[in-house]
Amino acid sequence: MKGAARMTEPLDPDPFERARKSFVAGIEAFESGRLAEAEALFLASLEALPGRPSTLVNLAATRLNLGRPAEAVEPLRTALAAQPDDAQGWHHLGVALLELKQHAPALEALDQALARGVQQPVAHYRRGLALVALERPVEAAQAWERALALDDRFVTAWVDLGSLMRDLGRPEQALRCLERALALGADDLLIHFQLAGLKKTEHTPEAPPPAYVEQLFDSYADGFDEHLVQALGYCAPQVLADGLRRLTPARFRHALDLGCGTGLCAPALAPLTERLDGVDLSAGMLEKARALGRYTHLARADVVAHLRQTPHRYDLIVAADVFIYVGALEGALAGIAQTLTPGGVCCFSLESCDESQDYVLRQSLRYAHSGRYVQRLAQANGLHLLALEPHPLRRDAREAVQGLYAWMRKPAAGDGQNVPG
């Protein structure tokens, strides 16, 4: 175009200087919490000077803080291949792999970080998390003890170590850890719940903290069936189904599996009912149950709340190893009585306790109930107790956990003893 000045591209600055400026600006953005900006600056630095280990490590740290651990792994592995003695790089890799639930390689990376001089309490703590996931609890306890030796005010480590000591059957150590956490200002409902189970106080909590059961079983969803049935000899669904055949020789039209979990009851109940619904609080468990294809409908809800709210009526309600996570059963039995059709049947399993108490919270954080309590609630809700029988539930520490199995029936109008047909 006539009169237009010719545009010329400026000469590129030195690549190293361009990479340095972007890197320094990226560090400043990271430390100021501007993580998206930091990521863009570290990428610009790598464009000018590819493969620089320090930039790759900082890029990975930024992505970890952005909640994208999968995108942190490759730059960390590249950086560590070039600079294998980078202790902080190994620590970041351990964090990324831990968040991705790749526990064995996470443990290896954290070990590399510690061997190269990382002495942050959180590195030992994260190592303990990996060891717990790998079912190495004694080593996990040792890792958390090392974290606490470095930082005696590490509240989360005190809480987790206390829970682990309880699981390991070391109640005195568990009490010490959990009480230390409270002294440091922790105010977690689960801590108080655990202390109630450990101290055996006169006042037993009526129910666990609302999120406890959901979190517990979400964490158990993978591998739950194999562990419970094969390792612990769990037999409650079959005992309940056999009792139904013996006590109520009929086929049911519409059954509800309370606290259905992954669907362990479904194979035992399917031959007895035309339609089977399920309800559970854990989304992870429900995903496994849905994959079975045996349930007509599945709902995610607290089981007692579901009984109160559901518009459906059932002629069979089953709760296998559910009420051990409920505590006081007044609401559950009232909901069952409301939801059963006249002539309908319910059955459930419990851990059994001494008849001097209605229910107790054990160190396992499971509730146990007495037969006297079950009989009183059945009568209070107009349910006829067909049978109340002792039978083992599962093994725990190689010993049988004594259970109590109940079968009840809601009388039909004008005919209190008929069974559903």
Does residue 5 fall inside a structural domain?
no
pLDDT at 205: 81
User: Which of 199, 233, 256 represents a domain boundary (last residue)?
Assistant: 199
Query: Are both 231 and 119 inside the same structural domain?
Result: no
Query: Are both 123 and 270 inside the same structural domain?
Result: no
Is 306:239 a contact under the CB 8 Å cutoff?
no
Residues 6+ apart with CB under 8 A from 113: 87, 88, 90, 91, 94, 123
Does residue 104 fall inside a structural domain?
yes
User: Which of 170, 199, 228 represents a domain boundary (last residue)?
Assistant: 199
Query: Are both 141 and 248 inside the same structural domain?
Result: no
pLDDT at 207: 78
Does residue 205 fall inside a structural domain?
no
Give whole-number Cα distances, 403 to 248, 304, 388, in Å. Answer: 21, 21, 10
User: Which of 199, 225, 246 represents a domain boundary (last residue)?
Assistant: 199
pLDDT at 418: 43
pLDDT at 220: 58
pLDDT at 413: 76
Query: Are both 194 and 271 inside the same structural domain?
Result: no
Query: Are both 233 and 372 inside the same structural domain?
Result: yes
Query: Are both 380 and 314 inside the same structural domain?
Result: yes
Query: Per the structure, how many domains does the chain have?
Result: 2
* Cβ-based neighbour number of residue 411 at 10 Å: 15
- pLDDT one digit per residue (tens) for the chain, 421 residues: 344 334 444 445 688 899 999 999 999 999 999 999 999 999 999 999 999 999 999 999 999 999 999 999 999 999 999 999 999 999 999 999 999 999 999 999 999 999 999 989 999 999 999 999 999 999 999 999 999 999 999 999 999 999 999 989 899 999 999 999 999 988 777 888 888 888 866 578 887 777 777 677 666 545 544 544 444 556 889 999 999 999 987 789 999 999 998 898 999 999 999 999 999 988 888 998 999 999 999 999 999 999 999 999 999 999 998 999 999 999 999 999 999 999 999 999 999 998 988 999 988 888 999 999 999 999 999 999 999 999 888 766 567 678 999 999 999 876 544 444 3
Does residue 234 fall inside a structural domain?
yes
- What CATH number did the domain enclosing 273 receive? 3.40.50.150
Name the helix (H) or strand (E) containing 132.
Answer: helix 121-133
Is 0.85 topped by the overall pTM?
no
pLDDT at 117: 93
- What CATH number did the domain enclosing 142 receive? 1.25.40.10
Query: Are both 281 and 171 inside the same structural domain?
Result: no
Quote the CA–CA distance of 421 and 163 in Å, as a whole number: 48
Query: Are both 94 and 228 inside the same structural domain?
Result: no
Query: Are both 32 and 77 inside the same structural domain?
Result: yes
Does residue 359 fall inside a structural domain?
yes
Does residue 208 fall inside a structural domain?
no
| DSSP three-state, residue 59 | helix
pLDDT at 218: 64
Which residue is it, tokens 């719940």?
Answer: 193
Domain of 275 in residue numbering reads as 216-409
- Rg of the chain, C-alpha, whole Å: 29
Does residue 58 fall inside a structural domain?
yes
Query: Are both 284 and 162 inside the same structural domain?
Result: no
Is 404:388 a contact under the CB 8 Å cutoff?
yes
Query: Are both 195 and 245 inside the same structural domain?
Result: no
Query: How confident is the model over 117-168, as pLDDT tens digits?
Result: 998 999 999 999 999 999 999 999 999 999 999 999 999 999 999 999 998 9
pLDDT at 285: 86
Query: Are both 126 and 268 inside the same structural domain?
Result: no
Does residue 206 fall inside a structural domain?
no
